Copies of this chain bind each other. A is one copy, B any other.
Amino acid sequence: MAEQPKKTHVRNKDNTKQQFLDAVGKLLRTKGFAALKVNDIATTAGLDKKLIYKYFGGRDQLVDQYLISVDFWSNVKKEDANFEINDGGHYFAKQMLTEQFDYVASNREFQKILLWGLSEKRKSLENLADQRELNGEVLLKNITDPFFGDNAENFRAAMAILISGSYYLNMYTSSSNSTFCGIDPSKGKGKEAIKTALKYIVDLLYKDNK
């Protein structure tokens, strides 16, 4: 005979914990960090909130656990590091900026976490920021700093502006329908314009250092 569809829940602690973590991610993407209330998380996970206290100790610890578990850049950062670099990181920087732009544009969760980091002080959010900083530091210290010599700090500041701009424009897009300097970063055309400008500015920075 066919198996009866079990009505009874399978019980598994690890699995359940994961469901809560997933619920946090889903809520974050769809409603933003302000919506991460215990009741909402439990409802979204389809489980009882009591378990949040039982397994994580409370909402904050669950949220921290979630933030630790997210591994940003994991797909965007690593494999590119094997390139031969003999142009002072010129190609690499352009590539990195545009890929990062696309990544942030398509990753609502990341946008929300960036925003969260600007809104709330929380250790695990700081850690994520530090981690991003460390990733970039590898590129900057080993490749562009030597190349730009006395202008190294200026180049760093420029990169800081370009990356920040990329972040902000993507957050702006998700929250507003308006244009920014007449550019609409929510439209494909606007996105292309911004990526073109990013590459263009990097080109100018490298050209001027020749």
> Which A residues contact B (CB, under 8 angstroms)?
32, 34, 115, 117-121, 126, 129-130, 133, 136-137, 140-141, 153-154, 156-169, 171-172, 175-176, 178-183, 185, 190, 193-194, 196-198, 200-201, 204-205, 208
B160 adjacent to A169 (CB under 8 Å) = yes
C-alpha gap A120/B20 in the complex (Å): 25
A119/B194 in contact, CB under 8 A: no
7 more CB-based (< 8 A) A-B contacts, given A117-B176, A154-B197, A160-B181: A118-B175, A154-B196, A154-B200, A161-B166, A161-B169, A164-B164, A164-B172
Give the one of A159, A182, A205 with max B CB within 10 A: A182
C-alpha spacing A204/B126, complex, angstroms: 34
Distance in Å: Cβ of A194 to nearest Cβ of chain B = 5
